[in-house]
A = this chain, B = another copy of it.
């Protein structure tokens, strides 16, 4: 039995046994046995990407929406390297990913062939778990451990390096799924301490992240608020948030350092539920890095590896909170705008037309502020932002979200500068006929940097400096690019045009791109 299959087959069957259903792949020669095993073993859906950053970003989106890992399949060190930026974002999202990287045959490494590199070195900064499969006899167990590691609360990137000979040699039989290392329950003493603090008369806020922003966790946070009056907050880039009508409203911390300080200035104690203390995204000369006021107490109700949703329920019960939140978001749909198309009118159109339970893979950056204002009161939705600041995440993220939730509309509002990073994602959207509507905010600029250039204290910027932030020369034509990659596309120059095109996109299924000339 043990020698009836090779390492690749044992690996793929173990992935399937462990509940991995999708593999985002950019294979090369060293992964050919894995590729062949996709047919001899059933149950793993391969999704081909034209660039590894698409594969890793898609795995992030899948993990955030499905709550369980997809696999990647990357080609040696350089293939991994191309996927690292979106693995960085995924790490910040605590997304579960089984990150598979092929390598040269074990005996070939000594020759330092051109594609050889320090794969583990590349992987270490993004991996919560890292292992090289050295034996076909253990590759099944290694794979089961990788899946377990990826699924361990709060979720992480488990990198498994697979030498080519481990994939092609006779191997042991596939392994079964290992027990999950689920989120740890917060101790009763912590619950009682936090409950007591919430009764001490100080101005309190709960900073929610992870399961605290979903379903029962968010409901429980609303109960705590109903009892104590504490503010409910979330990070600017909380990886997964449920927003819109019928949900408990949560205030989102603003982006810029001085805005954070104003936003939090009255908070005397901040209860962290799966989150870390708020901090400025960047440092600026003379501005604080910390967001909370001096003297604000930081109390951890639940750390990221703990069960924040359960802790909030336990806290609500300990407080004797009412069984339901006091506040629930009322639906407010904006009127359709007329005339000029800009980030405000685009946001109105999007909020107006997007159907219930859409998923937003959002990387709108400077255009995102009006969008988030409207989404807060729009039809119920799931919001997936750029978590780690590495632009080029939105398009791949949308792919993973669409595969994890094929019955939900995925909307991808994206800045043009970031979209250019991983535009190859459009091809996979077309290939898999994914129900994604991409909106490119075409302002022909790294707009955020025009703001930042002033904020970091550069006095007067010269021509060379400004040219580094400007994308007008030449102007990117997103309709041509999308068409060239197989995605139906159109350009909107007015609010009315955008409304017509967006409404049509919401009625159809399949990929669609709208270039919004803001």
Interface of A with B (CB < 8 Å)? 25, 27-30, 32-33, 35-36, 38-40, 46, 48, 50-51, 53, 76-79, 81-82, 84-85, 88-89, 92, 104-105, 107-108, 111-115, 117-118, 121-122, 124-126, 164-165, 168, 237, 276-277, 279-283, 285, 289-290, 387-390, 392, 417, 420-421, 423-424, 427, 430-431, 448-449, 452-453, 456-458, 461-465, 467-469, 471, 473-481, 483-486
Contact = CB atoms under 8 A, between A and B. Distances in A.
B462 A29 contact: no
A509 B431 CA distance: 36
A71 B111 CA distance: 31
A156 B285 CA distance: 34
Nearest to A8: B458
A117 to B, nearest CB: 5
B81 A387 contact: no
Nearest to A421: B51
Copy number in the complex reads: 2
A484 B477 contact: yes
A27 to B, nearest CB: 6
Given A78-B389, A84-B81, A485-B481, A168 B423 contact: no
Given A81-B88, A424-B420, A452-B32, A282 B484 contact: no
B115 A456 contact: no
B51 A431 contact: no
A461 B420 contact: no
Contacts of A81: 81, 84-85, 88, 390
B46 A467 contact: yes
Contact of A168 (B46, B104, B456, B467): B456
Contacts of A46: 464, 467-468
Given A82-B85, A168-B457, A389-B114, A282 B108 contact: yes
Contacts of A430: 474
Nearest to A481: B484
A423 B485 CA distance: 12
A458 B111 contact: no
Nearest to A48: B468
B473 A483 contact: no
Nearest to A386: B114
A306 to B, nearest CB: 18
Contacts of A462: 36, 38-40
Of A46, A124, A285, A390, most buried by chain B (CB within 10 Å of CB) is A390
A117 B123 CA distance: 12
A431 B85 contact: no
B449 A390 contact: no
A468 B38 contact: yes
A283 B28 CA distance: 13
Contact of A276 (B84, B112, B124, B483): B112
Contacts of A124: 118, 121
Contact of A423 (B164, B424, B448, B463): B424
B39 A468 contact: no
Contacts of A283: 104-105, 107-108, 164-165
Of A25, A458, A461, A473, most buried by chain B (CB within 10 Å of CB) is A458
A165 B469 CA distance: 21
A483 B117 CA distance: 36
Given A107-B283, A431-B473, A478-B484, A114 B92 contact: yes
A39 B112 contact: no
A4 B40 CA distance: 69
User: Which 7 residue pairs spanning A and B have beta carbons closest together?
Assistant: A39-B462, A474-B486, A480-B484, A78-B390, A81-B84, A105-B283, A108-B283
B452 A29 contact: yes
Of A27, A46, A165, most buried by chain B (CB within 10 Å of CB) is A27
Contacts of A485: 474, 476-477, 481
A378 B364 CA distance: 50
A486 B475 CA distance: 7
A467 B27 CA distance: 11
A417 B52 CA distance: 12
Given A38-B465, A475-B486, A484-B478, A32 B458 contact: yes
Given A121-B125, A122-B84, A453-B32, A468 B105 contact: no
B474 A479 contact: no
Nearest to A462: B39
